[in-house]
Structure 1
Amino acid sequence: MIGNRAATPWRLPEEAEMSVIDQYENLGPSVEDLPYWLAFAWLSGPGLSSRKITRLFELFTSLKEAWRARDEELRKIPWLNEMGSERLISGRKEVEPLGLLEKIKNQNVAVLHFFHPDYPALLRQIHDPPLVLFHKGKLPLADLGKTVGVVGTRHPTVYGQRQAKQMSHDLAASGVTIISGMALGIDSIAHWGAINASGRTVAVLGCGVDYCYPPTNRLLYKSLIENEGQAVISEFFPGVRPEKWHFPARNRIISGMSEALLVIEAGEQSGALITAQMAFEQNREVFAVPGRVDNVMSYGTNGLIAKNQAHLCRNYKDIMIEKEWVSAPRGVNVPTIVELYGREREVFDLISSEPVHFDYLLEKTGMNTGELSATLTMLELAGVVARLPGDWYALEAQRATV
């Protein structure tokens, strides 16, 4: 049973407290209140939501004063209710705000609380915004500009991989920041697409920003934290390992930070559909790339389109135009014209948007290995055919032949 404590919770003497806080001036405005934002974020949960904590801030004018409020004063706040007040009263006996600040001292991690000027304005609008965001990287969150979240399956088809790479690349090249979750599959491809366009991208993690998950994404993680225009963020404290329940929580941040959400390949039970639903509830525009009706990885995206829960998205321009980020009229893209003759034309005619294998082309053309390899190389150089892993080949988009 929780004891009744009339005295103000223990704290460092004022001089000692300010000495510690002075070390964190680089963490941004309102740094004196920052340890208490961290402490409230640590205690947040059932009964003590982020919205209630921001109301406490408004009531007391600072979380430092809210943290130091007397037990009886907290119990008299009607909207805090018993669960919330007792969670705070008992929790602050066990948490030292400055101790939390000390833990992030040497980790090169920035902390943005809810009212920090660099906290993403869009994210403040959602039902349950994170109380604090931990940030690591060289893209300030104040510089995001236009944002599109990209989500999808962890097991994309070759078609899904190509769409994710191309659309993310083209959006990023057009000045849009790509937001995703650094998961395997569509998420990672979306980040790389933006990076290859020298664009901006942010990964929202389901763990601390100092933890690379999945471990196989070390190269991507390294790029995100070290290079200009890239960053990782999380609502979870540094050192927190990934847990299954973290990822649905993470997804609301992806959609919440995004002006639009693009779904590329999602099965009927995909987590990407949960993110799409969150985006829909957050009043974000949802776009989906259609897929083959007999492909299970397209059931979810096709379903979103069929139920009018998502715009059909054929290319990045559909998003740019729908969001009025460009003034160009809708129309058919004009392809580059490439003239093909002889064996090149023969091989080209055997390749479609669905990948075909080198051995299939050998059998159909009757060429020897060297001749076919040389012909395919010429088609690649012409930009009409793409070589895929495992000696598979498919047509490139935005090319026409005569």
Structure 2
Amino acid sequence: MTITQDKFYELWLNNIPGIGGATCKLLISHLGSAEEVFKAKKNTLHKINGIGVHTLQVIDKYRSQLVKIENEVKKIEASNVKILTYTDKEFPVRLKLQKDAPYLLYLKGQAKSLHSKKTVAIVGSRGANQYGKLVTEKIISDLSQFKDLCIVSGLAYGIDIYAHRAALQNQLGTVGIMANGLSKVYPAIHKKTAQEMIEDPKSGLITENLMDAEPDGPKFPARNRIIAGLADVIIVVQAKKKGGALITADIGNSYHKDVFAVPGLINDPLAEGCNNLIKYQKAHLYSEIKDVITKMNWDLTSSAPTRQTKLFDTQNLSDEEKTVVSLLQKSEFHIEEIAIQSETPLPKIAGTLLQLELKGMVKMKPGNMYSLKQ
């Protein structure tokens, strides 16, 4: 694909060390685009609440390092990788609900199933045994009765790769979230499965890391937050007392996702993590697929319920108010996303939302989330 000028500057901003997704969204919501952030003077940036001296310094420093982004663009285009940013329609809507979600994702493959009505993350120990493999395959076989469903995992050894392979075998879309760049597959032994995922229209690979990034320690918990953010439900199949699967489960709980764990023998180290999740009420016990179907209220006989949108009289609204109402008819959004989607500075959007609240059309929810009154 060809990287546009907008994407170029979004890549620049997103890859400044110390500036995460939340800061990217904050800056762009105030100034309108990453290019405007690049052009902005220090005193303009410093007026934005939450932008401190350190952030100003790193932005100023990295204005002179565009060559690095130019080289990155060459690698992206040569590898047929797609860049998804927070404002793109193709950016996973589930991630938009998480405050700490990345601003930008690298995608290889089409991964159409990311927009499925149901998304299940299946995670577990890298040292999973044959029992873990069989349980994973059984779970996914049972889930295959839902055609509009995506399996998400981390492409790692053990439960992760079993989940991806079982999803492909059952004609379900599956997306691997990587802790490294897309220039190579890690671990390399999973390259064949990764290629099958890339070639399957419903599946693919995703990362937030630069193309040549190596899979060092801090990238794995960061990867796990994306897995948890994409999931409607998380199932932990096998897990030791400590490990990445438990981090994913903890993050999932903090996101108010439903977490399930497969119980095991009390003297089995591979079951200790799952048993503790259940013991300390951090996960529901998983014994059969009915446990998930019942908890998630999934209906086998019909498609997901359509959202009832209240009709409002927009005749007397300003153009800005009409834009916000039209956006909120699709879903609830954080105030920063409303500013980004409507291409309106944050202070002006705050005033528009206040007017809509006073007119009884919009309500503010915890965490600066906004929705239409039903």
Query: Same fold, TM exceeding 0.5?
Result: yes
Contact 2:177 2:223 (C-alpha < 8 Å) held by counterparts: yes
Q: Alignment partner of 1:206: what SS?
A: coil
Q: What is the CA-CA distance between 1:312 and the residue it aligns to?
A: 0.8
Query: How is 1:100-179 mapped onto 2 (pairs within 5 angstroms)?
Result: 100-140=72-112, 143-175=115-147, 176-179=149-152
Q: What is the CA-CA distance between 1:227 and the residue it aligns to?
A: 2.1
CA distance in 1, matches of 2:82, 2:20: 22
CA distance in 1, matches of 2:75, 2:166: 34
Identify the match of residue 57 of structure 1 among 28, 44, 48: 28
Identify the match of residue 230 of structure 1 among 194, 200, 203: 203
Contact 1:321 1:327 (C-alpha < 8 Å) held by counterparts: no
Contact 1:35 1:100 (C-alpha < 8 Å) held by counterparts: no
CA distance in 2, matches of 1:248, 1:80: 25
Contact 1:170 1:197 (C-alpha < 8 Å) held by counterparts: no
Q: Alignment partner of 2:52: what SS?
A: helix
Residue 315 of structure 1: aligned partner:
288
Contact 2:240 2:273 (C-alpha < 8 Å) held by counterparts: yes
Contact 2:137 2:163 (C-alpha < 8 Å) held by counterparts: yes
CA distance in 2, matches of 1:142, 1:122: 9
Work out whether 1:94 is the aligned partner of 2:65: yes
Contact 2:22 2:102 (C-alpha < 8 Å) held by counterparts: no
Contact 1:204 1:233 (C-alpha < 8 Å) held by counterparts: yes
Residue 18 of structure 1: aligned partner:
none
Contact 1:152 1:272 (C-alpha < 8 Å) held by counterparts: yes
Contact 1:304 1:310 (C-alpha < 8 Å) held by counterparts: yes
CA distance in 1, matches of 2:114, 2:264: 36
2:189 partner amino acid: T
Contact 2:112 2:201 (C-alpha < 8 Å) held by counterparts: no
Which protein has greater RCO, CA pairs closer than 8 Å, 6+ apart? 2
Q: Give the number of the structure whose alpha-carbon radius of gyration is greater.
A: 1
Q: Alignment partner of 2:108: what SS?
A: strand
2:179 partner amino acid: G
CA distance in 2, matches of 1:69, 1:164: 51
Q: What is the CA-CA distance between 1:119 and the residue it aligns to?
A: 0.7
CA distance in 2, matches of 1:262, 1:142: 17
CA distance in 2, matches of 1:287, 1:182: 20
CA distance in 2, matches of 1:61, 1:213: 36
Contact 2:125 2:240 (C-alpha < 8 Å) held by counterparts: yes
Work out whether 1:302 is the aligned partner of 2:275: yes
* Identity rate, percent: 29
Q: What is the CA-CA distance between 1:327 and the residue it aligns to?
A: 5.9
CA distance in 1, matches of 2:78, 2:117: 29
CA distance in 2, matches of 1:304, 1:276: 8
Residue 80 of structure 1: aligned partner:
51
Query: How is 1:197-212 mapped onto 2 (pairs within 5 angstroms)?
Result: 197-212=170-185
Q: Deviations over 1:130-164 (max 9, x none)?
A: 12100011323653331011100011122211111
Gaps of 5+ in 2: 302-374
Residue 268 of structure 1: aligned partner:
241
Residue 258 of structure 1: aligned partner:
231
Q: What is the CA-CA distance between 1:251 and the residue it aligns to?
A: 0.6
Contact 1:148 1:177 (C-alpha < 8 Å) held by counterparts: yes
Residue 169 of structure 2: aligned partner:
196
Q: Alignment partner of 1:202: what SS?
A: strand
Q: What is the CA-CA distance between 1:249 and the residue it aligns to?
A: 0.9
CA distance in 1, matches of 2:241, 2:133: 19
Contact 2:146 2:300 (C-alpha < 8 Å) held by counterparts: no
Q: What is the TM-score of this pair, normalised by structure 1?
A: 0.71
Residue 218 of structure 2: aligned partner:
245
Residue range with higher mean Cα deviation, 208-217 or 250-259: 208-217
Residue 353 of structure 2: aligned partner:
none
Q: Alignment partner of 1:43: what SS?
A: coil
Contact 1:44 1:50 (C-alpha < 8 Å) held by counterparts: no
Residue 215 of structure 1: aligned partner:
188
Residue 264 of structure 2: aligned partner:
291
Identify the match of residue 180 of structure 1 among 153, 157, 161: 153
CA distance in 2, matches of 1:129, 1:236: 13
CA distance in 1, matches of 2:289, 2:177: 22
Q: Deviations over 1:291-342 (max 9, x none)?
A: 11111111110111111111111122321221111268xxxxxxxxxxxxxx
Q: Alignment partner of 2:79: what SS?
A: coil
Contact 1:168 1:191 (C-alpha < 8 Å) held by counterparts: no
What is the aligned length? 299
Contact 1:112 1:132 (C-alpha < 8 Å) held by counterparts: yes
CA distance in 1, matches of 2:157, 2:114: 27
Contact 2:86 2:104 (C-alpha < 8 Å) held by counterparts: yes
Q: Alignment partner of 2:7: what SS?
A: helix
Q: What is the CA-CA distance between 1:265 and the residue it aligns to?
A: 0.8
CA distance in 1, matches of 2:241, 2:114: 36
> How well do the aligned residues superpose, as a CA RMSD in angstroms?
1.8
Q: Alignment partner of 1:244: what SS?
A: coil
Residue 360 of structure 1: aligned partner:
none
Work out whether 1:71 is the aligned partner of 2:42: yes
